[in-house]
Structure formats: C-alpha cells, structure tokens
Amino acid sequence: MTRNPAIAAAVLAGLAVILGAFGAHALRGQLDADSLQVWHTAVDYQFWHALALLGLASAPASRWRIASLIAFATGIVLFCGSLYALALGAPRWIGAVTPCRGLALIAGWICLGGAFWRSAR
C-alpha cells in the first residue's frame, strides 16, 4: 500500500464523517429538506470516492495511478464542493456546472481501472 493515496483517503473520509455530522446536527433546522438532501449527496460522493482512493493505494505506482489520484481529488473538491456550496445557498448557476465537475470523478474511475489493468500485464 502506498502512502499518499492512503493518507488522502483517510483525511477525506474523516472529513466526510465530520461534514455528515455537521449536516445532520448543525444544519438541520437551518436548511430546507432539499438543501439537506444536496448536502447528504455531497457527503455520500465524498465518502465513496475517499474509499476509492483507499483502493488506489493498493495499485502499483504508475502514471495511471497518479492520474487517478489527481482526478479523484479534483472531483471530490470540485464536485462535492459545489454541492456543499449549493446546499448553503450558492448561486444556482453552480448547479449547472456541477455535472461537468463530476467528469473528474468518472476520469478517476477510468484511470483506476487503467492502473489495475496495467498492473495485471
């Protein structure tokens, strides 16, 4: 297991737990049900992709692994970050570009597959 993806996974997963608890306790009563659902979606995506980073830690070192790490980290920050911002009242146009930011998460999965495919050869 390599260190950087594992550390990133631990930090991002821990942060997902903190943000989930914050949404469930501090934001309940402050946000409407739709905004809380958007917040919860952001937490879910962050947590699942933090776990993907943990899987990435077991992939052998390669350009594919580095690309996957960058894509997942970028996707978590941009995609989940835009959902958190929307839940807190950011301008609606952010919602229009959020799916484009999700492309980074998709790229992360493709690169993760490439990393494991490359290692099997």
- pLDDT category at 121 given cuts 50, 70, 90 is low
Residue 5 is predicted with a pLDDT of 85
> Alpha-carbon dihedral of residues 65, 66, 68, 69, nearest 10 degrees?
120
Task: Give the number of other CB atoms < 10 A from CB of residue 68.
Answer: 27
- Is pTM beyond 0.85 here? yes
Residue 47: the pLDDT is 96
Q: Give residue 114's domain range.
A: 3-120
Q: How many domains does the chain have?
A: 1
Q: How confident is the model at residue 59 (pLDDT cuts 50, 70, 90)?
A: confident
